[in-house]
Structure 1
Amino acid sequence: MESKYGFLKMSLPEFVAWIQEQRIARTILTVQQHHTWSPSYIHFNGSNHFERQSAMKNYHVRNNGWQDIGQHFTSFPDGSIVTGRSLELTPACIYGANRDSICMEHFGNFDKGGDEMTPEQRETVVGMTAALCDKFRLPLNSFSIIYHHWFDLNTGKRNNGTGNNKSCPGSNFFGGNKIDDFNRNFLPLVSQKLQGRPAPAPPAAIQKYVVVTANLLNVREAPSGSAPKASDRGAAQLGSILRIYDESNGWLKISNSQSHWVYGQYTIEVKRATVNANVLRVRSGPGTNFSIVDNLMESEEVFISEEENGWCKISLEEKWLSKNYLNFS
């Protein structure tokens, strides 16, 4: 591994081992696929990984006004992987779909007529996706692994590429950017990559989920405000969904394997739910008289923070769903 400009560069085998060792407070439900489009292969000279990543960060911060580079990881034509923003930060990649997500950008223009992805990068894209699904115990489907192309640019609604959409991750990304292309070409490769791996240990019993209501919530080594901050885990961010394994005097334990605690006063309990309708309208308030602001598809997961007259509020957002079309776990 190499580090420069605050980024870490690694090979795919190094990434697979590294990601399993990372302790991430927020709950992850989706892995996003993107291409950079520009910069493309003509901007890569074989050794300027850090310079290209730094340039993307500068553009995102100075031009877009974001707090950091938008993505968590970038894959490069030689198969290398470079880290981006903190895994505790929500990505800035798909408007309306960044909640509870990890974002990967793949260096290159993978539209038809653009760059032909190298075998090394293909292997890394598949391997990264498999490793992330393995790490976060995600089901292998088009609701856990998502393409930018499937979301409307203006509204953030998922329309599976039938409206005002980017081509990202490219109209020739593993044979195409449609749902059918994903199911036919990309998903089987990810599934194959995970075959033969030892089954993960059964997850520890989660007592409940909470959403962070403070801008930054410190993680401490014991259930006390005087305890040292955890040295191997950053503060939890506003809106992050945390898994709770134990409680003590108003403090919540967010790790099964480490003594990592947050103060419960700055959280709200949420319930995990799955959409059971083909398409579920998301409204701006608790009733059919409120405007439609989004759509969710069957099997998509959400975290519910409030209920009112048969309507459920998504986390800290002003987005509401009919309780009739949710299954609670």
Structure 2
Amino acid sequence: RLAFLQAKPREKAPLPVAAEVITGGDDTLVLASAGGSALPLPKPNAVTLDQAVIDVAKAENLTEVAASASTNTAFGDDIREVTGGRVNLRRGPGTNFNAVGRLTRGEQVLVLSEENGWVKLRVLETGRIGYMADFLVSDPAN
């Protein structure tokens, strides 16, 4: 007769329980007890601010400036439209640069500069900046 012995499963040691977390700069140290019982956590200290975090008047002014800047078409701004059906917006002035987006016919752009058949532009709707061949945008307004 053969007898088979069945091994009794070993009990796993309890996992350590975090007792305290100490953070300093980019490093975090977690202290734990070896037996699995957590040490009591200290209560966090209350924090109070002596002054307002946001100056509401300045924030409202910045909001107005940002809104007017995004819609400003004052003298000197070169606003044009994309004339191609679906055009790559590129990282640099050439087809060897990766596309960073695509624009469609009629989208408005602000031309920032022109060089060697390419225009550097900012898409008015999204604010994204990139390059496009100059023949794919409308002629400058006179």
Task: State TM-score, norm by structure 1.
Answer: 0.21
Larger radius of gyration: 2
The structure that is helix-richer by fraction is: 1
> Normalization by structure 2: what TM-score?
0.45
